[in-house]
Amino acid sequence: MFPNSLPASMVLFDEFTHVRVRRDGNATPSPISSLHENEVFKGSENPILYFRTYQLDLDCRFELKYYPFDFQFCTLEVIVAKF
C-alpha cells in the first residue's frame, strides 16, 4: 500500500506487472518414485521479485516559512504485507 498517495493506492497485478523468482539456492531433485522429473527449490532461499512502475500523486505537507531558503522533503510511504 502507498498510504500517502492520493487516493491511497494498493499494489496492482495487471499487464504491467512482472513477477520473477531469483534462483539463489540449489535445487533438490524429485524422488525417483515420482512420475515427473522436477526440481524443488526452497522458497526461503529463492526470493520472489515484483516489478511494476507506478505513477502516484503524493500528499506532502510543506512548511514554507523560510522559502526559498529552506529544504523540503516528501517521503513515499510503502507498507508491505507478508502473507
For 34-76, how does the pLDDT look when each residue is reduced to its tens digit (9 = 90+)?
888 888 888 889 898 888 887 778 788 888 888 889 888 888 7
Under the banding of pLDDT at 50, 70 and 90, the label for residue 83 is: low
Residue 57 lies in a domain: no
Task: Please provide the DSSP assignment of 8-48 as one string.
Answer: PB----STT-EEEE---S--EEPPTTSSS--EE--GGGS-E
Residue 3 lies in a domain: no
Q: What domain range is 25 assigned to?
A: 18-51
Task: Please report the pLDDT score of residue 62 as a whole number.
Answer: 86
Residue 60 lies in a domain: no
Residue 47 lies in a domain: yes
Residue 33 lies in a domain: yes
Residue 10 lies in a domain: no
Count the domains in the chain: 1
Residue 73 lies in a domain: no
Residue 12 lies in a domain: no
